[in-house]
Every structure is written in C-alpha cells, then in structure tokens.
Structure 1
Amino acid sequence: MSVVLIIVTVLCFVLLLLVAGMRPQYSSYSTNELVRRAERSLHFKKELKRQRVVPTIYAVLAVKTSMLLLIVICLSIVTFGWVAGVAISVLVVLSYGSLASSRIVMSVANRWYRQLEPHSLALIYKYPTVFALLKHTPFYSPEQYRRFDSKEELVELIEQDAEALSDGERKLLASTLLFADKTVQDVMTPRTVIDSIAKHEFLGPLVLSELHNLGHSRLPVIDGDLDHVVGVLHIRDLLSLDVKRSTTVERAMEKKVYYIHQDDSLEHALAAFLRVRHHLFIVINSERETVGLVTLEDVIEALIGRRIIDEDDIHEDLRAVAKRRAVHTNDTEDGVDL
C-alpha cells in the first residue's frame, strides 16, 4: 500500500467534497426582470449575462463531481485492494453528498468558488458551443427566484399558470394589477373615429334613423368641430321625441360636458365617473384640444380585462378601427417623414 496513493486518494476525496459543496447563486432578480433593468443599466446587463449561464455552471460542476467520484473509486480500489476498496467506495458514494452539504464544507467551497467564478465565466463566454453540450446534463439547481420585484413579474406568473386559474381569472387578476399603471390615453376612443353631431342639426326622422344606425348610446355634440364639444346627446332620450315636431340637437342634448386629460390615470378617471355620475368624458391634451373620448365602460373593461357589451352599442372596438385607419393617415406619395 503506497503512502503516496493514500494521500492522493484523500486529496481527491477532499476535492470531491469541495466541488460538490459549491452552490453558485442566481441573481435576486428573475431573468425577465433583469431583461427590463438591463435596458437602463450596464450593471444589470452583466448580471443578466451571468444569470443565463448559471445553469451551465451547475452542469459543469455536476460533470466535475461525477469525474472526481469515479477517480476516488478507482484510487480506492488500486490503493486498498478490491475488497477494502469496494467497501470504501460504497461508503464514499453514500456519504459524500451529506458531507458536502455540511455548513463547514459549503462555507469553504463557496469561498473558493467565488474566487474561481470569473475564470469559469470567461471560459463559458469564450467557448459557448462547447459548453452547450452540457445543456441537457441532469444537475441540482436551487430555486432560481423566490420573490416578485415588480407587478409585471407577478402578471407574467399569473398568465403562465394555466392549471390553477381559468382564462377569465388570469385576465381579471392581470388587468387589476396593471390598472393603476394605465392612463386614459390607453383606453380612450381616438379622435379619428369619434362620431359626433352638430348642435344646430334638426332631429327629424332621417337624422334620428341615422343616429340609431350608428349604434352608439350617446354622442358628443359639437359647435363647428371636435375641439368645441358643447354637450352630450343621449340616444335613449330621443325615443320620446315627437317626430312630427322637429327640434334641434341643442335643445335635446345634455349641456353638462366633462373633460379629462389624456395623461390622467384610470384610477382618477374611475373616481371621477363615480363622483359626477356621468358616463362619458371628453379627453383633451395640454392645449385643451380634443384627442378622444372615454366612457365608464372603457374604464371598467380595463379593470376586469374583458369587453362589456352595451345593449345600445353595436359597433366594434373603435381603437382597432382607429389603428386600421391610421395606416393611411398622412400617407401621400410625395410625403416625407422628418
């Protein structure tokens, strides 16, 4: 029995414990959160790059552990003979995992790993193709992520959970979480698709028929153009009109008009709807120009994550209509974008 072989076997066993005890740490942020933060910070960009190769590091450590275990078994048999060597090998296989997980071994192993990690990362970055072969190697990996750093993270988890939550429940939870971050501009009907009526229009049979065919429950009343909204015409109120006695829109409309800024939050809009008990606001910009309109239904839809079908509204999603129209807006053959 050679003393040198015994020393080498013991050293390999110690090295096995240290490698098996190494635990590379994931970032405290998830990969998706790091992607968002990496757009604004070089520090998070580097952290994101490291995060993506941590599984590869675990795979490399798993391969190294297996190789060292095999070396220790072979050395044990060569050094102590078949009977004693096999007995020692069985003992090593059964005990090295628990020994490597002890506090002392892990402390030393991870201190050593932190010194070696920059070199390991450099090799992985330099030879990604070689290390990609280890991608499907089975290995132990701790839980990557245990907390939420943003509402977006929680929303992503909710949207991915198709087993515990129904489709409607996922939409409801996600919409509720993001509701406070949305503005009036996100849900308003754009100016380009607003149907309106002039205040001097006579409400005769033809006009009434056209209004009903529009499929809206209420319309803004204008004095010249959409930047001068002077009232709101409720279609239901027109049902009691005597068609034989024409009257003007100005006489039939509700003169109270409420304005809201396009950058106001939906929380502010909802509170305003509840306070004034009105169903339609005119949306304006900083120059008090009309940029759209928003209804109580728009805000509720954003809160619950699904459309509300008003029994008086037969039109399709007007925001989608506006997007289709925008394809040909200000798009002349000789036009130049600066």
Structure 2
Amino acid sequence: MGICAPLAWPTSKLLDYFLGEEIGTHYNRERLKELVRVTKHVNDLDKEEVNIISGALDLRKKTVNDVMTKLEDVFMLPINSILDFETMSDIVKSVGSGAHQDHRLNVRLLAGYSRIPVYEGNRSNIVTVLFTKDLAFVDPDDNTALRTLCKYYQNPCNFVFEDVTLDVMLKQFKEGHKGHMAFVQRIKREGDSDPVYETIGLVTLEDVIEEMIQAEIVDETDVYTDNRTRKRLTRPLNKLHNVAEFAGHHQHQRVHVSPQLTLATFQFLNTSVDPFRSDLISETVLRRLLKQDVMQHIKLKGDEDKNDPKIYVFQEGKPVRVIGTIVQMMIDE
C-alpha cells in the first residue's frame, strides 16, 4: 500500500471528482428480509431468529386492524352490573374458561384477559376498564354496584384508529402511560351527517409481540391458539374448579345453627306466630323443620333478570306477606 500510494491516491481523487463518491451496497426492508432468508443455511441463524427478524421488519407495514381481537369475542360487563357472587364467578371463569355464550350477561367469554372493558348502553360504547385486581377488597355479599367501583378507580381507556401501524402501537405500549391495552376505532360515515367513531375491537401488547416474533404466545389458561382464526388447542386444559365450592355456595351446604338459637326460634314460632302454634303443628314436626337445610344455591335461567324483585321470596330488610301461605302449604303436605 505504501509503494502504490503515490499512484493510487491521485487516481482515487480523480475518480471521485468525475464519477462521484462510491455509494456502496444498500438494502431496503424487502431485500434485507430476502438476504436473511436465502443465507440462513450458511449463517448460524435458526428458524425462530429468522422469523423474529422478518416480523420486526414488518411492524411498520401492518396495522392494529390485522392483529386485533374483534369486539364480539371480548368479555365485557355492563356498567349497571352488580358485583354479587354470580357476576364475580363469571369474571373468574372468564380468565380460564374459553369462549362460550353467557345468556345472563349476553356476552362472550374469552380466556386470558385480566382487564375487563365496561360499556354503557351498547357494547361499542366503552366507558372504562375494570382491572381484576380492583376486586381484591370487594365482598360479593355487599352487592357493590360496578358503577361505584369504576368511579372510584377511574381507569382510563386508550382508543386508537384501525390504521395505526404496529411500530407506533409498540412505542405507546412501551411508554406505559395508557396501559397495555387499546380499543380500536374506525370512522363510520353515514350520508352527509357528521362521522361517528365505532369501536370494532381491542389490541394488546401480547398481540403486537406475537406479530413481531411470528408466533403465538399460549399460556396455561388459553383455549385458542389464535384470537383471529379461533383454532382450539389440542392439549388438555387444566381442570376448571367450581368457584361456588370454594366460597361455600354449593347446593348441599349445611347451615349450622346453635342449639340455643334453635330453641329461641322454636319458642318464638310456637308462641308468637299463629301458623306454628301447637294446635296446628306438633312440636316434634316444628323441631324437625328447624333442623332442615334451609339454604339452597339457585342458578337463574337465561331469560331471568336477577334484579327483578318478583323472583325473590325473601329480601333483607323488606316485609313479607307470603309466610302464611308457605306455612299452610307445608302443613298441607
């Protein structure tokens, strides 16, 4: 190089002056993906690494509309729900039960979500998000209104348009200011009226990562391998436990009443309530009635509204006028 320098250096300067500087070899996204693919047999990259490189290069070309979960496949709650045992049980089942139709709430359950969208009116009108961790201090026996809980936590909703690219979405999720879940909207135009926003689905950080690594992330509670093709898993699922058994709301629960309370109840009924007087019912039968299992867990049918007062015989703090009829029926039997 030292010997040739007196000749090579002036020659290179002349070539740069007349021909311009050498551009070199440049690759766009498609050529770079193809280069990685055709050289994988000579480099030390395995198939998963090639897929990750290709997926990362395609993030700017794909939108959230390509990876989102459709709104009809999302487990949601109406804001006028009551957080009683039935609703809390449905929330627990939604994390690991798979998609099925719940006629009481008129929603579909999709496994794997710990953030539950809350809507008001129609399902596309999402007003807030309920985190399952927000239910840690909620007692199902208190019948807390979901609206009250949502007003207390005030979890914000993140809305994005359907044409947002995945690289922009990944950047938002990495910042973490708006959470790791976003609702996808599209602009709906009807004639000459003003356009309205229509919610069509939701996208999560997991959806973006799955698209980047070109593979589905399946945990132990997932029922489907893909949220778009709805292909079910072939491996056996974990056994689903009955939440009612854990909470003590099963059908054969025995109510333990102390002998003192049983005696006080017997004395009150036998002396103060006419249908239970000794001339109408014997003391032996009355004592046997008091020893019966009086608590039953009843599952409402799909067309029944649990807030309808007509389906209840007794309600706490409200007077009842049907006791005499019920007692008379028991006596007749």
After TM superposition, the score normalised by the length of structure 2 is: 0.48
Structure exhibiting the larger radius of gyration computed from Cα positions:
1
Normalized per residue, the structure richer in helix is 1
After TM superposition, the score normalised by the length of structure 1 is: 0.47
